[in-house]
Amino acid sequence: MGWWCIRVNMGIVCLLTMVWCGKGIGVNWGTQASHPLPPETVVRMLRENGIQKVKLFDADYAILKALGKTGIEVMVGIPNDMLASVGGSMKAAEKWVAKNVSQHISSNNVNVRYVAVGNEPFLETYNGSYIQITLPALNNIQSALIKAGIGSQVKVTVPLNADVYASSNNYPSGGDFRKDIFDPVIKIVKFLNDINSPFTVNIYPFISLYTDSNFPVEYAFFDGNALPLNDGGTLYYNMFDANLDTLTHALGKNGFGNLQIIVGEIGWPTDGDRNANIEYARRFNQGLMTHISGGKGTPMRPGPIDAYLFSLIDEDEKSIDPENFERHWGFFYFDGQVKYPLNLGTTNSGALVPAKGVHYLEKKWCVMKPTVRLDDPQVQPSVSYACGLADCTSLGYGTSCGNLDARGTFLMPLTAIFRRITSSKWPANFRMYR
């Protein structure tokens, strides 16, 4: 049983029938960019690409306003650094809900459906600082939603990194939650189960490939030629299914076999690492789309998969503390132009529609003076200086500009970002050409 869609003037109406029609693929919309597109431009992109679900990382007023009256389902986010305040005070939670959810629903008709409380708060890099506060924050936000009378429309969840679970035997059938964080994770799972809210997990086959040089590349993809993983007779042809079923098994084993799962982030970057390129990204994301639209699900969870692609647009100010590829997850470039063909299955043509009416700043390049020698000791500090201000993540080993020498490095278009630099601060060996 599922839904059947017909296109009418007012939008899309789903009627109950024998054919499945979910809400389609969702996308993550991150905004850590030096020159973000105006929210109205992005919302138009979403609509023209038939995208009906969007996941945000905070609750930006202008973005939510632009999403008003579009019908697009929205997951708003509470950043980790706000967990302590909303988890520590019911008043703060109520204020957050009033300002960042209720107001947008009532006065602007934004279709808010989820609040993501924190973002991967159990990630090891946080040294456990959010582990104790995540459940109280979930609890307070949930109570605040009920108090505001929107508890049935808006559900809470918390996007977790996939390493909160692991397998004891390297097969999905050995899946369970990690021992060192078992108690706090199970308490959250029980809480979500009690209030009928989904478990959200971010899954990244790319990172498995990045961190493990022995990882079988083909197994990361959906059309790969890897030998399938044989889990007691059940065959797994790709890592995504095996990972999702490891979670499914962990949930079932602990008595939560019916808990709904959302894949909060999934995708592939296009630069910043030797495995981050357009060909792999296209292959992975298109394979994922075909897999999802087939509606088969995974061996343990047949049926539709609810997922949000990471990400809609590149973000050139994302921290590269994790890695250089962090700034290249978009299937659109920073300016909303198409990186590679991707059929999301949401439009008649099957082609991505780029952003319209984008305003560009004047183009500027930085080049080395012809008189400077490459072995000049000032070259390296000057490159470091420039890269501290511009995005140089495409210059590493195996990346798209990785083969350039120092002279070439400075031919990289550092469009617009150098507007912040006054000419007096410009290092002596370099000039700006317009």
142 binds ligand NAG (CB under 6 A): no
- CB-nearer residue toward ligand NAG: 79 or 257: 79
Give the integer Cα–Cα distance in Å for 262 and 309: 11
Figure out which of the listed residues 58, 176, 218, 317 binds ligand NAG, where binding follows CB under 6 A.
Answer: 58
User: Which amino acid, residue 77?
Assistant: G
Per the structure block, which two tokens stand in for 378? Answer: 């000032």
Element (H, E) at 117: strand 111-117
Q: Which residue in 40, 48, 94, 120 is the catalytic one? A: 120
163 binds ligand NAG (CB under 6 A): no
User: Which amino acid, residue 26?
Assistant: G
Q: Which residue in 73, 265, 315, 326 is the catalytic one? A: 265
String of contacts with ligand NAG for each residue 7-46, x by CB under 6 A: ----------------------------------------
Closest residue to ligand NAG in the complex (CB): 58
315 is catalytic: no
Q: 338 CB contacts (<8 Å, ≥6 apart)? A: 331, 332, 352, 354
Element (H, E) at 4: strand 2-8
Q: Interface with ligand NAG by CB under 6 A: which range of 123-131, 181-189, 306-314, 357-365?
A: 123-131
Our CA angle for 292, 74, 161, nearest 5°, is 60
Count CA within 13 A, CB hemisphere, residue 379.
Answer: 17
CB of 233 to ligand NAG, least distance (A): 43
Matching residue, tokens 């305003």: 359
Per the structure block, which two tokens stand in for 406? Answer: 């120092």
317 is catalytic: no
Figure out which of the listed residues 33, 59, 105, 189 binds ligand NAG, where binding follows CB under 6 A.
Answer: 59
Per the structure block, which two tokens stand in for 167? Answer: 């397998």
Per the structure block, which two tokens stand in for 180? Answer: 């060192």
126 binds ligand NAG (CB under 6 A): yes
Q: Interface with ligand NAG by CB under 6 A: which range of 121-129, 244-252, 290-298, 340-348?
A: 121-129
48 binds ligand NAG (CB under 6 A): no
Element (H, E) at 87: helix 83-88
127 binds ligand NAG (CB under 6 A): yes
152 binds ligand NAG (CB under 6 A): no
Question: Please, are residues 209 and 271 in contact by the beta-carbon 8 Å criterion?
Answer: no
Which 87-106 residues touch ligand NAG, going by CB under 6 A? Answer: 95-96, 99-100
348 binds ligand NAG (CB under 6 A): no
CB of 79 to ligand NAG, least distance (A): 6
Q: 96 CB contacts (<8 Å, ≥6 apart)? A: 59, 78, 82, 86, 141, 144
Q: Footprint of ligand NAG on this chain (CB under 6 A)?
A: 58-59, 79, 95-96, 99-100, 126-127, 129
Annotated catalytic sites, by residue? Answer: 120, 265
